[in-house]
Structure 1
């Protein structure tokens, strides 16, 4: 079984983005980061994947939209993040 792909959409200077990436880094998670500071097609992609999302970070584990930094931290506190990351 392969682990799901992790995507995170961020903006330059975003403290919540830094916090989310730090948690993922501490867990040894390999993720792909998309900087949408200047908008562009990746911002459109983020909004298509998470309709109504206007803030960053937006985090996806496989096809699951986790949400932002607070939601990621809540999954960790509840002991659910490792299982999600494992697939």
Structure 2
């Protein structure tokens, strides 16, 4: 999966995970095509294939959290590392090096794609 030059951006995700959703939203807004490997999806349920892939992924990356993102076979990290890489331009460079034209780099702060419950709350008006 990681060596597929036709789909160099790979998102290992869980269908129900809000952090996975956040990365998907960022990629959609920026026009970054990606392959989603939904480890809890129907394709990976039989014989706990998703669990086996997740264990192999943890051994490879040292990270047990989901999502995990790769570009051109290079591990970026999870959601926050991906957002940091987007915000500082590293992700743009990696995506372009992988042969993908970034459609929109002007989506603002990537952390804005996180679930609302993670954003700081504003004090109620008096």
Residue equivalent to 2:53: 42
The 4+ residue runs of structure 1 with deviation greater than 6 A are none
Corresponding position: 1:61 with 2:64: no
- Structure 2 gaps of 5+ residues are 98-126
Deviations 1:7-62 (A, max 9, x none): 11111210110111111111111111111125344324423542x22110000001
* Greater strand content: 1
- The structure whose RCO (Cα within 8 Å, separation 6+) is larger is 1
Aligned residues: 85
- Alignment partners' CA distance in 1, 2:29 and 2:13: 18
1:83 lines up with 2:86 in the alignment: no
Q: Secondary structure at the match of 1:65?
A: strand
Root-mean-square deviation (Å):
2.1
Distance 2:8 2:59 in 1: 18
Q: Which has the larger radius of gyration?
A: 2
Unaligned 5+ runs, structure 1: none
